Structure 1
Amino acid sequence: MAEDQTTQPNLVESTPVEDEMATPTVSSEIIHPGSLYGIYRQGTVLAITEHVPPKPFRPDYYDPSWHRSPADREEVAATGQLEWCLKCPQIETQPKEDAQQHSLTILGTLSVGYSRRSQVFKCQLDGNERIYVAKAFDPVFSMEYPADVTWAVDASYSTEAAAYEDIKSFGYDGKFSPTYHGSWTFNLPISKDASPEATSPNDARPVRMILMEYIKGLDFDEIFQVKVESLLSNDERLHLLNDIFKAKACLQFAGVLHRDPFPRNVILCGSSSTATDATTDPRAGKVVIIDFEHAVATRRPNCRYPAPREDRPINPIYRYWRHCPVEWGCLAPEPFFCNYGAWQRWMEHSWMNNPAFCQPDGMEIVPWARGTRVWFSEFE
């Protein structure tokens, strides 16, 4: 990855460093960047508390009856982004008993600034050496404005937390996605100049966050910016394609449909970011899928599209038999991308009759020129 609950506010900044925030892209009269500029920066220390995320509620994929509808854009725009976040804060859930608390220090930014869905940064807890990635869902910086930003970030937070929780409960934690280290909340002063000793709840606003394992490596968008053949042999490229197909199939079996499995969201692990990394990193040469902000947790009882109850993951041959997915064309060496016959022979060699995977009802392998039923076609 390239670098780029207490009721009192608890933002403490160390010695000032070069500001890493992106220049605001919205009106300063609306968002007051002078007061909030530079919150997510190297050296910032936050007091975080374990948090119970709300169940996912995006109305296009879940029954949203338990949650309010988003406010009209005109109402939000007339209020202003910061003022709306104070007027209509994020969802409060039942506090977790014996909730853990930690001191989080930001080590460096990965994706921060105004007009983003989330603030992503590297961090450490309590001064320990272990490095994590934190993803903060802060409506004050949300790109969704002038839509209902608190509704939007709660939807993203609840969606991603549900995906990681279900992956972990299924026993796949850290196998095909980063190890999940829970959901958290922290308070920020409304104004950067507010006194850290302020006791009034009106002086602070809550922000939700998830914490994940830091994955060392490159995403495939970065790899594709150079000649992929200079980094990976043909055999390695085909091996990685199989790893990607397997990871997606297993995550779907766990009840998590990613819905955005493009190269930018798949990391090739290892210090040299190749499939032949010779370091002691046990993950070297493996693929890890990240960013579950748009995922659907299909095993949740309120999901509109429940997962098929197969006894094993669906064999990737039934999804990718016809041809290589276009988004992964740079990874497929010739003749496998352009020659459908060569692709199908390789798929048959790699996946046919693999006992770890199943053939779902109603799906079959057919010649490339004929139509093939696609599982979960409404998501693809």
Structure 2
Amino acid sequence: MKHFRISFIVSIICFGLAFYWGYLDGGIKSGASCVMIALILSVLEISLSFDNAVVNASILKRMDEHWQRLFLTWGLLIAVFGMRLVFPVVIVEFATGIDFVSVTQMAIKEPAVYAQHLTSAHIQIAAFGGMFLLMVFFGFLFNNERELVWLGYIERKFSSFGKLESIEVICSLLILLGMQRFLEPADRLSVLYSGIAGIVLFVIVDSLATLFESEEEGEEVSNVIKRGSMMSFVYLEILDASFSFDGVIGAFAITQDIVTIMLGLAVGAMFVRSLTVFLVRQGTLDQYVFLEHGAHYAIGALAIIMLVSMRHEIPEVVTGVIGAVFITLSIFSSVSYRRKHASLEVVKHS
């Protein structure tokens, strides 16, 4: 429980603030309602982001302890206030041309209007986030250095394509171009720009992280590790942002109170980060060897859902169920794999 101690403290503070915020508006009953809504939002955030926590853990375990602590502290502030509060305001600012302060006032005083503006930018957000997550998935799928495979021949075949230079970029661009025919003519250019921006951002961050982690000799090894950890930290924050986009927009289906949304998502984000650290400290990824595979397939599914949502509305529960299925199947496969190899070891030593 020590890994979740801070999360429980943050939860108590956020639920207390939610009650106080509702109490100011309509007394005890309104305060209790805000707490309940914040609780629902936090549970949804946790359930929809478990695959995010697994992938985060696979990256976090390669970072030094200093950057792991920053991921839990400053990283949380960036995730909660930056990606779930400030960034949506910035999106509305660019979409409408209204200044930042006015949009912030709109979010608090006219949440319905603010939600409408934010929802109208969903196509661009989905294109950017969907293509970034698709690159994350393809980076895993086409990794030809991966020795352990989950889906046997199919996964080995895809990983063999990784020998082709920039195969994940090629596939992502082909999908982005292929989507153009299914979009309204007025949306095509903005989707193309947003999607390319998501791909370029992934390539930049991933390339810098690889560059910093490639050196293994000399006096600058320590600095290389730190710089590699720094780029991994940036990568994690962008990955979290891609996950949070739809969560923020979807939260308006439950409530249009931006303060309650922020507090509820803050609790969820804190638990996801604690879960990430827990997975690293307990060596869960080493025990459940296919968990990372399941999480990446869930991310691939989320990327596809985000792209499809540009034309068709897809309930959040669908995303959650698909992610849960992949994670559950990967856990069962991991247990089976561990038992099988334990039996082989017994036979070998007998």
Please indicate, yes or no, whether the TM-score normalized by the shorter chain is above 0.5.
no
Between Structure 1 and Structure 2, the one with more strand by share is: 1
Higher relative contact order (CA 8 A, sep 6+): 2
Between Structure 1 and Structure 2, the one with more helix by share is: 2
TM-score for both structures, normalised by structure 2: 0.23
